[in-house]
Amino acid sequence: MRVSRVTIVLVVIAIVAGIAAVVVRRHATREDPDEPRTYIPKPVTITPELTLLQQYVAIDTTNPPGNETAGARFLGALLAKNGIAYEIVESAPGRGNLYARIKGKQRGGALLLIHHIDVMPAPPNGWTRPPFAAEIFANQVYGRGALDMKGIGITQLAAFVDVARSHRTPEHDIIFLAVADEERGGALGTEWLIAHRPDIFEGVRYALNEGGINEMESEKVTYFGIELGSKMAVEVDVRGATREALQRARIALEPFVAPREPERILPEVRSFFRDIAPQRVTQRALLADIDRAIADGKFWLLPQGYRELTQNVVWPDKPVRDGDAWSMTVYLFNLPDEKPAARVEWLRQEVAPFGVTIGKVKRSMGPAPITSRDTPLFALLLREIRAEYGNVPAGSELLAASFNDSRFLRARGIDCYGIWPFPVDFFQTQGIHGVDERVRTDWFAQGVRMMRKLVAAYAFEPN
């Protein structure tokens, strides 16, 4: 999952992609996730899927440079072994994307299983086990990509192969897509494929991707969050003749860094607050009725991650000398439906009084609508989640400070749902984009089982 540079710098906003809600949760759950606990590892059961995960993690697809073609060939060999045709599409030398499709009975309504092959850099210092050894220690597979997101990819692959090996024609097309370059923005992955291979996305109604949040307490899932959308980021270079001019502009933007009041509450945000409210302690009443909280002047009591879901947030970086002038990067974290050009124009007007001008727009995301929860697939997700995890609370999730490739698909009208099919606790999330990324083997097996049942249900049940 891609995280903006300013998000990485400001770990108080979010540590890794998809973990914004976890950071919020630390302020409001029933227990402190940092409280020491005794972990007694369970015996390890080596399943075929677990072996595949180890093999996949062992392929170094660090981005940069990527080398995703090596991962695509590994996946392709597994598909070929099961008699499934596939295609590797390179957007650049070594930057491979893998595509396979099982044709269904009906046109349209296709389900896309998408994951990214590339992983973030993994400096070896600090790791308990080498980042690409994929070793099992204390019932956990250690390695870069175990969570983000080769583990999810293997669960999708197992489900996809099951459909093919059933020799039954699914109701709709089922597509397996492994993409390059997500960790660096997707320009050589999903974004490139949409521009150059639109046939891959023909007939797609739904996509399952990363982005979900699993909350846990005492090794049990307490809330299963299905990601429906996220804030969008715009990165702008602003320029001034002097450092002082940029500093004045920076000070003028400070009220927009952490606003005390909401700007707009989208219907999906209001629904998310209601979904998560029963799992909170100190913010339960505020989230259950956000309009009352605002009317009572208590909106500011919510953790920043929740507040930002109702606000267009600005973060100006420090001015730096640029030749004979000075420049400053300004990051705009916009609500999903905001037009980036309009937000850049807003910024232009805010900084103009200080003699500061807009330079290059380095990155521009959005608009990308939030996916509806009122769909048959969302209902199916809830059913299968509760069947696997014992009728746990489940609902929507929105990301305040991270994003993923779903933004490209949502902009094309595809309903995207982000899930972690296996449990992931707070401590494991700290390994994403950090050291000791890992997944428990028994929890991973649960995710494989749930993904298989979920995809089979969509493929073969009338819908």
**In this predicted model, what pLDDT tens digit does every residue of 339-363 receive, in sequence order?**
999 999 999 999 999 999 999 999 9
5-229+372-460 folds as Aminopeptidase (3.40.630)
What's the pLDDT at 19? 34
pLDDT digits (tens, 9 = 90+) for 403-426: 999 999 999 999 999 999 999 999
Confidence of residue 61 (pLDDT cuts 50, 70, 90): very high
Q: Are 422 and 443 in contact (CB under 8 A)?
A: yes
Edge-first strand listing for the sheet containing 140-142: 136-137, 140-142, 438-440
Task: Determine which helix (DSSP H) or strand (DSSP E) holds 330, and give its type and residue range.
Answer: strand 325-334
Percent of the chain with pLDDT over 90: 89
pLDDT digits (tens, 9 = 90+) for 290-335: 999 999 999 999 999 999 999 999 999 999 999 999 999 999 999 9
Confidence of residue 124 (pLDDT cuts 50, 70, 90): confident
Does pLDDT of 8 surpass 80? no
Task: Determine which helix (DSSP H) or strand (DSSP E) holds 100, and give its type and residue range.
Answer: strand 96-102
Confidence of residue 31 (pLDDT cuts 50, 70, 90): very low
What's the pLDDT at 354? 97
Rounded distance between C-alpha atoms, residue 443 and residue 53, angstroms: 13
CA–centroid distance for 435 within its chain = 19
Question: Which residues is 185 bridged to in the sheet?
Answer: none
What's the pLDDT at 389? 96
Rounded distance between C-alpha atoms, residue 282 and residue 280, angstroms: 6
Percent of the chain with pLDDT over 70: 92
Burial class (CB within 10 angstroms; exposed 0-12, middle 13-18, buried 19+) of 351: buried
Residue 202 is classified by DSSP as: T
Question: Which residues is 102 bridged to in the sheet?
Answer: 174
SS3 sequence, 350-364?
Answer: HHHHHCCEEEEEEEE
Helix (H, G, I), strand (E, B), or coil: what is residue 196? helix
Rounded distance between C-alpha atoms, residue 374 and residue 362, angstroms: 36
195's CB contacts (< 8 A; 6+ apart) are none
Using alpha carbons, select from 420, 410, 311, 433 the residue that is nearest to residue 7. 433
Question: Which residues is 207 bridged to in the sheet?
Answer: 112, 416
Confidence of residue 38 (pLDDT cuts 50, 70, 90): low
Write down the domain spans for the chain: 5-229+372-460, 232-364
Strand intervals (E) in 194-307: 204-209, 213-217, 220-230, 232-240
Does pLDDT of 25 surpass 50? no
Does pLDDT of 283 surpass 50? yes
232-364 folds as Alpha-Beta Plaits (3.30.70)
What's the pLDDT at 463? 75
> To 10 degrees, what angle do helices 150-165 and 68-81 make?
20
Strand intervals (E) in 107-249: 110-116, 136-137, 140-142, 174-179, 204-209, 213-217, 220-230, 232-240
Does pLDDT of 13 surpass 50? no
pLDDT digits (tens, 9 = 90+) for 130-180: 999 999 999 999 999 999 999 999 999 999 999 999 999 999 999 999 999
Give CA angle at 401 (411, 208), nearest 5°.
Answer: 45
